[in-house]
């Protein structure tokens, strides 16, 4: 047998490719889909809550801690106003009257 | 995005897409790789169509399983598939303990052209004789001849599939082809070369 004959025979055989049956293709595809990794589920991030004007104003003041301090000071002020302020005179009035910061300074204002 | 069997997207890129859950990639790979693996397995198994389909399905099954760990640039998908199919065919042949001679009825279907019935019968006879002659070659020579001359692969590709050197591939294909010619020389009648004055 000549080489050319064998080459022609091999070339003809190469063209005579057996086609896969539809059933085989379906089985292979079914395997592919059954074994295919599933894409990771993606969940949309929740939309940020809308903030009103009051919220933004309070945040501008400093938020919760600042408001707590402010509230405490306000309550304390109300309490001081409600209670008799005369009790404070005891502390401020008497000491102010009794105190003499420059006892020896009178001679500076005395004529003669 | 859809991929067809003849699209520009490489098989390796399709593997990555498949592993990422792309169903179109699964379809494209099925359409591209399955026919080639089936044809190769049918030739290695001397035309046993049922066995070849089992080998093709098993090869593809292993391809799907390895997809999540597939690393691009290391191996071509077809090289990997041919290698797996080769091993599966060898295992099946060893399990049988003998090589099966392909009957004429099992000859692969030949594209129906404008030839006459007599020519088609002659072609079918030649294909059957070739399959039978291939079956008589040693396993490695048969693999090399089929990959080189029937699957149209290059020597480096064959070397990668058979996991041997390129020089070894050249030696195997040369010896295989000589052995094939010797076997076929005794079957001139089946080949229709009896009138060829050069035959012998």
Domain definitions of chain B by residue range: 1-98, 116-200
Element (H, E) at B122: helix B117-135
Q: Report the residue from A20, A29, A39 with minimal CB separation from B21.
A: A39
Are the C-beta atoms of B136 and B126 separated by less than 8 Å? no
Range of the domain at A75: 64-96
A10, B38: Cβ pair inside 8 Å? no
DSSP A54: H
A46 part of a folded domain: no
Residue B23 has pLDDT above 50, yes or no: yes
Number of independent structural domains in chain A: 1
What architecture does CATH give domain B1-98? Orthogonal Bundle (1.10)
A27 part of a folded domain: no
A79 part of a folded domain: yes
Residue B95 has pLDDT above 50, yes or no: yes
Q: What is the pLDDT of residue A54?
A: 84
pTM: 0.65
B42, A38: Cβ pair inside 8 Å? no
Q: What is the pLDDT of residue B198?
A: 45
Q: Is A16 on the interface with B (CB under 8 A)?
A: yes
B60, A28: Cβ pair inside 8 Å? yes
Chain A residue closest in CA terms to B58: A28
Residue B114 has pLDDT above 50, yes or no: no
pLDDT, mean of residues B21-27: 93
Q: What is the pLDDT of residue B173?
A: 95
A5, B193: Cβ pair inside 8 Å? yes
Give the closest-approach CA distance of B94 to chain A in angstroms: 24
Q: What is the pLDDT of residue B109?
A: 46
Strand segments, DSSP code E, in B95-180 are none
Quick one: chain B helix, strand, coil %, rounded to 5? 70, 0, 30
Of B103, B77, B73, nearest to B161 (Cα)?
B77
A54 part of a folded domain: no
Q: Percent of chain A, pLDDT > 70?
A: 71
Give the closest-approach CA distance of A4 to chain B in angstroms: 10
Q: How many CB pairs under 8 A join A and B?
A: 114
pLDDT classification of B102: cutoffs 50, 70, 90? very low
Q: Report the residue from B30, B109, B199 with minimal CB separation from A25.
A: B30
Chain A residue closest in CA terms to B27: A29
Q: What is the pLDDT of residues B25-52, one digit of tens each?
A: 999 999 999 999 999 999 998 878 899 9
Q: What is the pLDDT of residue B33?
A: 95
Q: What is the pLDDT of residue B196?
A: 46
Q: Which residues of B59-87 are buried (b: 16+ CB within 10 A; e: fewer)?
A: bbbebbeebeebeeeeeebbbbbbbbbbe
Q: What is the pLDDT of residue B8?
A: 81
A16, B38: Cβ pair inside 8 Å? no
A2, B49: Cβ pair inside 8 Å? no
B185, A3: Cβ pair inside 8 Å? no
Q: What is the pLDDT of residue B103?
A: 43
Within chain A, which residues score under 70 in pLDDT?
A: 1-2, 40-42, 84-107, 111-112
ipTM exceeding the 0.85 mark: no
Angle at B89 between CA B83 and CA B95, to 5 degrees: 140
B188, A1: Cβ pair inside 8 Å? yes
CB atoms within 10 A of CB B54: 16
Least confident of A13-17, B11-15, B116-120, B193-197: B193-197
Q: What is the pLDDT of residue A95?
A: 53
Q: What is the pLDDT of residue A98?
A: 56
Are the C-beta atoms of B128 and B100 separated by less than 8 Å? no
Neighboring chain B residues of A9 at a CB cutoff of 8 Å: 126, 130, 184, 191
The fold for domain B116-200 equals Arc Repressor Mutant, subunit A (1.10.10)
Does residue A90 or residue B53 have the better pLDDT?
Answer: B53
Angle at B77 between CA B90 and CA B88, to 5 degrees: 15
Residue B197 has pLDDT above 50, yes or no: no
A36, B26: Cβ pair inside 8 Å? yes
Q: Report the residue from B34, B130, B151 with minimal CB separation from A25.
A: B34
Give the closest-approach CA distance of A47 to chain B in angstroms: 28
Q: What is the pLDDT of residue A43?
A: 74
Q: Which residues of B158-176 are buried (b: 16+ CB within 10 A; e: fewer)?
A: bbbbbeeeeebbeebbebb
A19, B109: Cβ pair inside 8 Å? yes
Q: What is the pLDDT of residue B34?
A: 96
């Amino acid at each position: 047998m000549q080489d050319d004959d064998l080459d022609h025979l091999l070339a003809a055989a190469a063209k005579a490719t057996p086609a896969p049956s539809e059933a085989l293709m379906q089985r292979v595809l079914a395997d592919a889909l059954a074994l295919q990794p599933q894409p990771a589920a993606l969940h949309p991030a929740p939309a940020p809550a809308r903030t009103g004007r009051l919220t933004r104003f309070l945040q501008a003041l400093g938020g919760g801690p600042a408001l707590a301090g402010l509230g405490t000071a306000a309550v304390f002020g109300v309490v001081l106003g409600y209670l008799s302020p005369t009790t404070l005179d005891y502390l401020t009035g008497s000491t102010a009257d009794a105190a003499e910061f420059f006892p020896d300074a009178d001679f500076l204002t005395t004529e003669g | 995005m859809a991929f067809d069997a003849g699209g520009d997207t490489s098989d390796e890129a399709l593997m990555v897409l498949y592993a990422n859950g792309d169903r179109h990639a699964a379809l494209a790979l099925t359409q591209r790789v399955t026919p080639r693996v089936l044809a190769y397995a049918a030739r290695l198994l001397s035309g046993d169509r049922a066995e070849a389909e089992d080998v093709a399905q098993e090869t593809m099954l292993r391809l799907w399983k390895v997809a999540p760990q597939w690393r691009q640039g290391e191996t071509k998908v077809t090289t990997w598939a041919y290698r797996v199919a080769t091993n599966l065919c060898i295992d099946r042949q060893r399990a049988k303990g003998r090589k099966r001679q392909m009957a004429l009825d099992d000859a692969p279907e030949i594209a129906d052209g404008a030839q006459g019935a007599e020519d088609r019968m002659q072609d079918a006879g030649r294909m059957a004789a070739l399959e039978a002659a291939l079956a008589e070659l040693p396993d490695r020579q048969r693999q090399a001849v089929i990959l080189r001359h029937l699957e149209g692969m290059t020597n480096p590709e064959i070397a990668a599939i058979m996991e041997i050197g390129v020089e070894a591939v050249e030696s195997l294909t040369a010896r295989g082809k000589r052995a094939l010619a010797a076997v076929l020389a005794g079957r001139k009648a089946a080949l229709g070369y009896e009138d060829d004055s050069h035959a012998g």
